Amino acid sequence: MKKNKFLKVFSSAMALSVILAGCSTSSNSGSKNAPKAKVEFKTSFDNGGSAVDGATLKYGILSAQPLTGLWNPVFSDKAEDQYVNQAVMGGTFPSDEEGRTIQDNADAPVKFHLDREKKEVTLTIHDGVKWNNGEALTSKDIVATYELMGNPKFTTNTRYNESYEFIEGMKEYHAGKAKTISGLQVKDDKTVVIKYTQLRPSLLWGEGSVDNFLNAKQVEEASKDFAKFAEADLNKKPLSYGPYYITKVVNGESVLAEQNPHYYNKDKMKLKKIEFKTVAPAQASQVIKNGEVDVIDSVTPSVYEGAKDIKNGTFLGEASRYMSYVGFKLGKFDKAKGENVVDPKAKLADKNLRQAFLYAVDRDQINEKIFKGLRFTPTGSGMYPAAVGKLVNENATAAKKDVEKAKKL
């Protein structure tokens, strides 16, 4: 999902949610080595008691924008819609606390097995995984999703990028030079092998792979006319093999999702329905106080500030996998050669001048005053979010504001 940079100062953020009375949740606590925000939160909360039979969870989506209504878990590019898609599908490949795909998980809807020596991934569909219409999820659905990802006629596809071209034959397929993707090998109705020309660690974080699959019949129908793609059932009434499926939509305002009667882990499901609705940031604090929603996610600093003393709920938070940073323009990008060209005469070509910016800014004060203590300056994580704990240098220190040093530089 795409994130906007709120302020171009190197910092990491907290992923903050509020759980109102009557609900419980749990989440990963993140890396023990990661730096922390000034304001700390619990990462789980339990009200105790038994689950309410037949309850409908009211899920608030904090946004000034309406829901666009693209209920496609693969190609939706709006954060508002993704909240719905992620809850409905439930996650095909579980991930660990670092956000990395868990390999060889026999309980997952689709087991992910990576063979580094052979440069291939084997996907095996769990027995009993079915679409909400009762039909089984099959290898055809997996292949159809990858073929739609690389379809050369799908020119408005914002998800396709060069990382998919590490799959054997994808580049040729996307260029219209091949009718199929040679690297996709169907072994049987439940097994697909994906062959790669090279493997990168980022594959386990989802780069160059699809993390949810679409119904092959709906893909075929939607692919007949890409000018009308957004209106196809694939996007408006998609089938789901996840825990829920969409049953009712009030355009731009709300979505109702109900239990998938054919979900393979149905016995573990407690909620019968989830109602999603947008909550405008200007009214969010009052909506929380009034208990109009049970859960509201991705709470902003201003909303938190207006509702932090609530008595009818609990704020939960953990370090998010998001960072903002300062970038300096040191040249230009040569489109013809596909490379960056450094200009030695650029205003900020002097390394000392760039370092002066580092010491002239009090990032801790910005994090505390503007972001209400919900952001922090990471140390030792380089260009990775501090929440990715395995990439954190525990011995690193953050540069502090030093105006005199900045002047000398």
Q: Report mean pLDDT in 10-residue bins for the chain, 409 residues.
A: 32 50 42 59 75 84 89 89 90 89 97 98 98 98 98 95 97 98 98 97 93 97 96 96 96 93 91 93 92 88 86 80 79 86 90 89 83 71 60 72 88
63-122 confidence digits (pLDDT tens)? 988 888 889 999 988 888 988 999 999 889 999 887 899 999 999 999 999 999 999 999
Contact 43, 26 (CB under 8 A): yes
What pLDDT shows up at residue 305? 87
Find all residues with CB under 8 Å of 70, minimum gap 6, and list them.
76, 77, 78, 81, 230, 235
What pLDDT shows up at residue 289? 92
User: What does the domain layout of the chain look like in residue ranges?
Assistant: 56-90+242-306, 110-231, 331-408
1-16 confidence digits (pLDDT tens)? 333 322 333 334 445 5
Measured distance CA(313)–CA(322) in Å, rounded: 26
Q: Assign domain 110-231 to its CATH architecture.
A: Alpha-Beta Complex (3.90)
SS3 content of the chain, % helix, strand, coil (to 5): 25, 25, 55
Measured distance CA(35)–CA(262) in Å, rounded: 43
Cα 241 → chain centroid:
19
Is domain 56-90+242-306 in CATH 3.40.190.10, yes or no?
Answer: yes
Question: How many Cα atoms within 13 Å fall on the side-chain side of residue 260?
Answer: 28
What does the angle CA 202 – CA 205 – CA 206 come to, to the nearest 5 degrees? 95
User: What is the model's pTM?
Assistant: 0.79
